[in-house]
Structure 1
Amino acid sequence: MNDKTFLSYLKHADKPFSGWDFSFIDDTGRMKSDLLSWSYGSMALSLIQDSKSMLDMGTGGGEFLSKLGPFPSSAYATECYLPNVPVAKERLTPLGVQVVQIDDDEDLPFESGQFDLVINKHESYSAQEVRRILSKGGLFLTQQVGGHDCEEINEKLGVPLNEEFKDWNLEKALKEIEKHDFKVLKSREECPTQRFYDIGALVYYLKAIPWQAPGFEVDQYTDELYAIHKMIEEKGYFDVTQYRFMILAEAI
């Protein structure tokens, strides 16, 4: 492969990814997404300000949560990806948030009824366990990524959708929520477009989210990536379809 532009994009995509921060390709305009009709951040901010005890599930490096303070006197965040834990602690501990490393969403190290608010952005969860740690009348806010998210990437690479998440959607999530003593207050789903303007941005993205194409390695998909690169050169971009849904539920 002697295409210098293609190879330079791939080399640039080697930049290490830490926490949950896509600014390397997002802030530079190399990847952009259409707007949703709701704002998880606005909803979470309002709920946090009204809470007395809260938990943020899957905080990443704490980048997002750190912008939503001030926090109640009892504020926790969980993270299962070990390299993110020290990043999150450094960012969140000075803000009064205790960061807890966990291994299993179905066995959280908190007391029953400990929180009046649990928030969760793009993190797996057990509806039963979330209900256990919420007090009666407590609120659960989540924004989720559906199993068919960005499936055009998989089609172009010739990689099947991840079987573990393929059937994950709003309908299934609502059934689980309502089964475990929640009253759904709000729910919505949408399919915005996500646009990549160069192949390096796509490669960087795929390295950061290994569940999209499990086992992804650039060397194994050079031909497929080059085909996408040539398409971007001709068209100007590569569009994929995201799948997002949100749920706000009350523990009853």
Structure 2
Amino acid sequence: MPEESTPLPFSSAASRDRFEALVAEAAAVPVDGWDFSWLDGRATEQRPSWGYARAMADRLGRARAALDLQTGGGEVLAAAPKLPPVTVATEAWPPNIARATALLHPLGAVVVADEDEPPLPFGDAAFDLVVSRHPVTTWWAEIARVLTPGGTYFSQQVGPASVFELVEFFLGPQPPEVRRARDPEDARAAATAAGLELVDLRAESLRTEFFDIGAVVYFLRKVIWMVPGFTVEGYLPQLAALHRRIEDEGPFLAHTTRFLIEARKPG
């Protein structure tokens, strides 16, 4: 909390009241799962041109045994119109495990609680398709191990310096090595080193806008690695300054980076 001698930069009492109401609302809403519908009308994110969910569903419809790594609340997997006869999802966060189990079990998919650390709790050559949307870490050697010969890994991932306009508003300028982390060329090299053959690699920078400070609070509470240790109390001056900026200048603009990678196990 700021000291009383450092007033927050509100333009009026009405602005302060709006700030407090928006922040209180966003701080109270649950953030389990990977559903961002609470942000409808409050933030927008341009979608990648390749349509990951649709392309993933197409591959699932042709697979015999599939693994969805770091499934979150299972929302993306559950949206596929047809799942393979054997479908398994992993997740580490307990609230998401419960949510994914409730969503996916009726569809015939099994959810496995896993700490997202190697080794994966599956035998060699167990799956002909492994998918993952926005994994925190990609364990390439383990993915290669659990794929059948001829099997495919298909993933949409967060790219370098994603939404860093927002990150740096709160944390200040980040060093070059932090800004280039998650470079798609590093993924290419890691996949190749694990013995996989690259099939596709594409990257895009996408327009993202936040229309009010509540959307920012919700986003930072949900995507916890953006501003590690984020709390409203710990960043109250920055939140107030950003609220004033949005009111004065309009939506806060950032850029999300995404890349698509598909790799095949020889055989």
Q: Please tell me the TM-score bracket, short chain as reference.
A: over 0.9
* Residue aligned with 2:262, SS: strand
Match of 2:24 in 1: 11
Residue 127 of structure 1, CA deviation: 0.6
Q: State the TM-score, normalized to the length of structure 2.
A: 0.89
Match of 1:82 among 76, 81, 94: 94
Question: What letter corresponds to residue 24 of structure 2 in structure 1?
Answer: K
What is the alpha-carbon root mean square deviation over aligned residues?
1.7
Match of 1:60 among 53, 72, 83: 72
Match of 1:225 in 2: 239
Q: 1:173 to 1:117 in 2, by over 3 A?
A: same
Which range moves more in the overlay, 94-103 or 221-230?
Answer: 221-230
Question: What letter corresponds to residue 104 of structure 1 in structure 2?
Answer: D
Match of 1:194 among 208, 224, 245: 208
Residue 147 of structure 1, CA deviation: 3.7
Residue 88 of structure 1, CA deviation: 0.7
Identity %: 34
Task: Measure, in 2, the Cα distance between the counterparts of 1:161 and 1:8.
Answer: 31
Question: What letter corresponds to residue 193 of structure 1 in structure 2?
Answer: R
Residue 159 of structure 1, CA deviation: 4.7
State how 1:1-252 maps to structure 2 within 5 Å. Answer: 3-14=16-27, 15-25=29-39, 28-123=40-135, 124-159=137-172, 167-252=181-266
* Residue aligned with 1:157, SS: helix
Contact 1:146 1:165 in 2 (8 A): no
- Unpaired runs of 5+ residues, structure 2, are 1-7
Task: Measure, in 2, the Cα distance between the counterparts of 1:172 and 1:17.
Answer: 31
Q: State the TM-score, normalized to the length of structure 1.
A: 0.94
Task: Measure, in 1, the Cα distance between the counterparts of 2:90 and 2:111.
Answer: 6
Q: 1:174 to 1:228 in 2, by over 3 A?
A: same
Contact 1:159 1:213 in 2 (8 A): no
Task: Measure, in 2, the Cα distance between the counterparts of 1:230 and 1:247.
Answer: 39
Contact 1:106 1:125 in 2 (8 A): no
Q: 1:174 to 1:214 in 2, by over 3 A?
A: same
Q: 1:94 to 1:207 in 2, by over 3 A?
A: same
Q: 1:32 to 1:17 in 2, by over 3 A?
A: same
Contact 2:57 2:82 in 1 (8 A): no
Task: Measure, in 2, the Cα distance between the counterparts of 1:214 and 1:116.
Answer: 36
Deviations 1:101-143 (A, max 9, x none): 1013321111100000000000122110000000011010011
Which range moves more in the overlay, 2-11 or 152-161?
Answer: 152-161
Q: Mark the structure with the bigger radius of gyration.
A: 2
Q: How many residues align?
A: 250
Residue 100 of structure 1, CA deviation: 0.2
